Chain A
Amino acid sequence: MPGSLHIITLVKWVPDAQLERQIGEDRRLIRSEGILGELDEHPLEAALQIKEQYDAEVRVSALTMGPPGASAAVKKALQIGADDGFHLTDEALQAADIWTTAAALSAAISYVRSTASADEFLVLTGMASEDGETAAVPAQVAARLGVPALTQATDVALKDSQLVVDRISGNRFQKVSAPLPAVVAVTDQANEPRYPNFRAIMKAKKKSTTTFSLAELGLTRYAVESKVSLLAAEPRPERQAGEIIHDDGAAGQKTVEFLSKEGLL
């Protein structure tokens, strides 16, 4: 029988992509409201499926980094089924770039692990955050932890501490294996996330969330200083509606004529 397992899922509180998103005067994304990133529901679901099927004790923790409001993302993760929540929040992490985010999260993962005495661990993430969209944090966290990164995963299976992951590598399909520990980033094709029912929502109220800052990780603000800073941010000019024609039997020809005139053929 394999040893006990601690799955840490990284979740992010992001502005709702269905609404208009803005960058403020301070060149930072306005985060007055947010939701648990849709893409982060997939690693949670993957974690819960492993927990239901694995031959050993599994604990699923949800970890987020963000402003005080980000606790809402942890709360949602607990409702979906995570066992406990962790929220790293610190003024020094505002406007964090990829480097800062990965430095803080990898230290936070070690902190979260120290709260349990599991034999093995696995970090699950979504394929990208829906605001930063860099898709670079999983591999950076893996590099800092010194473990393999398996991204673009469309299926995750775990047997006897050995991961088997289906993934897309460019124009190839791959089935790859790696021993624990590892970081796996799952796509939105990996599974169909469950919705929290009333019972799960009630149960989540009793689950614990630990809020902590960089000081508790032994990090100063200088240790997580961004390598990249934003010099300018401007909204893309709104696209204007162009010529609209109604099909009179020759709209196809007129469309081709337009393409030709624009030099697009």
Chain B
Amino acid sequence: MTQVLVFFDRVDAHLTPAQAELLTHADALGEAVVVAGSLPAQGAAPLAVKGVTGVLTGDGPIYAPNPALGELLAAAAGELHPDLIIGPDTPDTVDVLSQAAVALNAGLITGATGVTGSGAATKSVLAGSWRTTAQISEDGPLLATLRPNTASQQAVPGPEPEVVELEVKASSAVQILEESALPDSGRPSLTEASTVVAFGRGVDGDLSLVEQLADELGAAIGASRVATDAGWIDHSAQVGQTGVTVSPPLYISVGISGAVHQKAGMQTSGTIVAINKDEDASVFEIADFGVVGDLNDVLPQMIAELRRRKD
């Protein structure tokens, strides 16, 4: 049986979609033990998922970017000798797996789209323009972070796993002086959403139609660099080379011409729908369905049609 360690830097009252997805990957691969930097007040209850046989934490909560998270994961691997150590492809988790890989003298692959129990991983590289398969060259665990929207199954409930504390404490070198939640849009996170509605120059600063469309579809909102540079939305919404890379089943591009650096952030999406008034916009070259038209006409039609179908 393949032994899989799944690392989460923090577990809150509800698993994030990316965390739930990781557990379905782990369940498909073998037996999973979760290593968590911190657990919520109700303990391991959110981790009561099929395939999870136990939970390991430190001696007290450890929060990113504390270097003890890497020590915790390495200590857990030292106890259980896993074949695979996986985590969601978020910056804090990449850091922790990176640190643990040094301690374990083991290979690391970030941003994988799939892994096998024998230490192979697939991933998209060069902004999604190439696909590669890599393999660890010796025995020992493979550490990998997995991109969201790569598992097709839903997490299945299971018994609540037991929690065991390892003797790893937070280091005092790194202190969190202040912490605050980033503004919550009430929408799914951009990288994890199954639908992304992205807008560009064409909306000319007015987000109301884009927001209504996103809400009808339960979608996250993304933007081109032009739109974030103009201050129409926070920089964290930028999809593209220097922003976020997304790969949702459905990507709707609204008023974005589709420059190379923008395409780089979305071209591995499942289905691409583009709406642009310029029929020569390069986004139409990669769109599965394109509408040449004014977004101020087309979006209200879409919103009305979606609402009509819900009634």
Contacts and interface: CB of A to CB of B under 8 A. Distances in A.
Interface of A: 17-18, 20-21, 23, 27, 29, 38-39, 97-99, 102, 127, 130-140, 142-144, 148-152, 164, 167-179, 188-189, 225-236, 239, 241-247, 249-260, 262, 264-265
B247 to A, nearest CB: 11
A252 B301 contact: yes
B99 interface: yes
Given A235-B130, A246-B293, A139 B174 contact: no
Nearest to B95: A139
B253 to A, nearest CB: 12
Contact of A252 (B65, B124, B177, B305): B305
Contacts of A227: 101, 105-108, 136-138
A39 B302 CA distance: 38
B108 A98 contact: yes
A189 B235 contact: yes
A142 B70 CA distance: 11
A201 B175 CA distance: 40
A37 B68 CA distance: 31
Interface stretch (B52-60, B77-85, B263-271): B263-271
B111 A134 contact: yes
A100 B53 CA distance: 34
29 contacts: A21-B126, A97-B107, A98-B108, A98-B109, A99-B101, A99-B108, A132-B125, A136-B98, A136-B108, A143-B99, A143-B102, A143-B103, A148-B65, A149-B99, A169-B92, A173-B181, A175-B176, A178-B174, A228-B136, A228-B142, A229-B137, A232-B133, A233-B132, A241-B286, A245-B292, A246-B279, A251-B291, A252-B298, A256-B306
Interface centre among A18, A137, A229, A264 (most CB of B within 10 A): A264
B158 interface: no
B1 interface: no
In order of increasing CB-CB distance, the 9 nearest A-B pairs are A252-B301, A247-B293, A227-B107, A139-B98, A242-B288, A252-B302, A239-B286, A139-B95, A143-B102
Nearest to A264: B250
